Amino acid sequence: MAETAKTANGGAAVAESTEIGGKSKEAYFTAGQYALIWARFKMNRAAVTAGIILIGLIMMGLTAPFLSPYDPNIAGRDAEYQNGAPQIPKFWDENGFSFRPFLYTLERKRSAATNFRWITDVNKDKRRYVEFFVKGWRFFIVNIDLDLPGEDFDFRLRALPIDYHLFGMDKGRIHLFGTEAAGKDIFSRTMFAIWTSLAVGTIGVFISFVLALIIGGISGYAGGWLDSILQMITDAVRTVPAIPLFMALAAMVPDEWSAETRFFFISIILGLIGWPTLARRIRTHLLTERSQEYVLAARLCGATPGHIIRRHLLPSFSSYIIVDLVISFPYMVLSETALSFIGLGLKDPVNSLGVLLQNVTKVDVLLNYQWYFIPAGFFMALVLAFVFVGDGLRDAADPYSGH
């Protein structure tokens, strides 16, 4: 019922501006709400570009184990190539052209001539070739490791291994983005970091979304004194500065917690703090919508409040909720980064964008190892893409936009 009401709204807006509709007005008037949003979104070139970049980044995160040539953790470190510069495969050099991209062989040696220090020589005559779909380190998609008290209760499940990776070398290793101090491959770390940061954001957004839905829903639908009390609580939570709050909470985290536990804890905290803004928006929407005729009609038919909220009110502005979620996503990712940066969030063995960014703050890195900054580029692209897609969706979901 609410769907049709909304579509009628959208239809009215379309009737005003026929240039959106184009050829077939008929299809436009009967189109559903999401089809209309999609049609408007497609016209915004900046948003579409951002959307493509965003999907690309999300895919990178999802396929991280396949894209990464090496284990991003210490097990996959390259002891021969620490703090190494990025290696960009070549197609040709003074020795001739090759269809397969190649790298030179690096030879480490020390002798009396080098004062017994290790030096690395580039041997341009020995080429190493890039190979695709190579068998490499093993990643388990399902990897559950529960360390319960008592030896017998330890639970370990590993299944669905991935052995093949998009690219690798026939001899030696390739580090597209270079390596860091321990010799871990920055490219692999970046891929996994995108995944971690997206996961933290998703869990955080999900929790805050559920909370906002419940609190905003009750507050907006009930109104009156219950609304006043819930609003005061919402305002109080909004008033507490978040980072200090994080810091207090993070101080509670025992040092012996594993990376995974820490990760879930951080995501949950992010979620528990992020709800007030969305809750307020939902409340405002419900307050205006609940006095509409279709709600009255449903009530007269004997629908329960829960049913009215779920079936009539929420669908009436679900598009706004989606937009709000997209807009709040980058702020979650940013909070994770900020927390990790001040050393209270995720810590080094974990691959998250915040952890990788934390590594660039040393003067040594700034002056000598600039390739540490490459993850920062991915981070900026991720945030910008999210913000632009959010703006585009916002404009597209607004039936009165496109003046």
Binding segment for other proteins among 51-59, 74-82, 121-129, 384-392 (CB under 8 A)?
Answer: 384-392
- Distance, in Å, from the CA atom of 92 to the CA atom of 235, rounded to the nearest integer, reads 63
Smallest distance, other proteins to C-beta of residue 140, A:
32
378 binds other proteins (CB under 8 A): no
Angle among Cα 352, 355, 356 to the nearest 5 degrees reads 90
214 binds other proteins (CB under 8 A): no
Angle among Cα 309, 211, 262 to the nearest 5 degrees reads 155
Work out which of 239, 293, 301, 302 binds other proteins, going by CB under 8 A.
Answer: 239
β-bridge partners, 129 = 102
Work out which of 41, 104, 294, 341 binds other proteins, going by CB under 8 A.
Answer: 341
In the window 24-53, what residues touch other proteins (CB under 8 A)?
A: 45-46
58 binds other proteins (CB under 8 A): no
364 binds other proteins (CB under 8 A): no
CB–CB of 310/215 below 8 Å? no
338 binds other proteins (CB under 8 A): yes
268 binds other proteins (CB under 8 A): no
Q: Which residue is listed with tokens 């985290």? A: 253
Q: Which tokens sit at 179?
A: 């390596």
Smallest distance, other proteins to C-beta of residue 329, A:
12
343 binds other proteins (CB under 8 A): yes
Q: How far is CA 14 from CA 212, 304, 320, 383, in A?
A: 32, 34, 19, 32
Q: For other proteins, which is the closer residue by CB, 131 or 398?
A: 398
Work out which of 54, 357, 374, 396 binds other proteins, going by CB under 8 A.
Answer: 357
Say what angle helices 33-42 and 45-62 make with each other, to 10 degrees.
Answer: 100
244 binds other proteins (CB under 8 A): yes
Q: Please name the helix (run of DSSP H) or strand (run of DSSP E) that holds residue 332, with its range, or none.
A: helix 318-341
376 binds other proteins (CB under 8 A): yes
Q: For other proteins, which is the closer residue by CB, 15 or 119?
A: 15
Contacts of residue 231, Cβ cutoff 8 Å, sequence gap at least 6: 219, 280, 283
226 binds other proteins (CB under 8 A): no
325 binds other proteins (CB under 8 A): no
166 binds other proteins (CB under 8 A): no
Binding segment for other proteins among 22-30, 200-208, 290-298, 360-368 (CB under 8 A)?
Answer: 360-368
Neighbours of 49 (CB within 10 A): 14
Smallest distance, other proteins to C-beta of residue 360, A:
7
- Distance, in Å, from the CA atom of 6 to the CA atom of 315, rounded to the nearest integer, reads 9
Binding segment for other proteins among 153-161, 176-184, 304-312, 339-347 (CB under 8 A)?
Answer: 339-347
Of the candidates 368, 324, 332, which has an alpha carbon nearest to the alpha carbon of residue 352?
332
Assign 182 to helix, strand or coil. Answer: coil
- Distance, in Å, from the CA atom of 200 to the CA atom of 263, rounded to the nearest integer, reads 7
Q: For other proteins, which is the closer residue by CB, 218 or 353?
A: 353
176 binds other proteins (CB under 8 A): no
Buried/exposed 339-350: b ≥16 CB within 10 Å, e otherwise: bbeeebbbbeeb
Query: Which positions touch other proteins (CB under 8 A)?
Result: 45-46, 232-233, 235-245, 247-252, 254, 327, 330-331, 334, 337-338, 341-344, 357, 360-361, 366, 373, 376, 379-381, 383-384, 387-388, 390-391, 394-395, 398, 400-401, 403
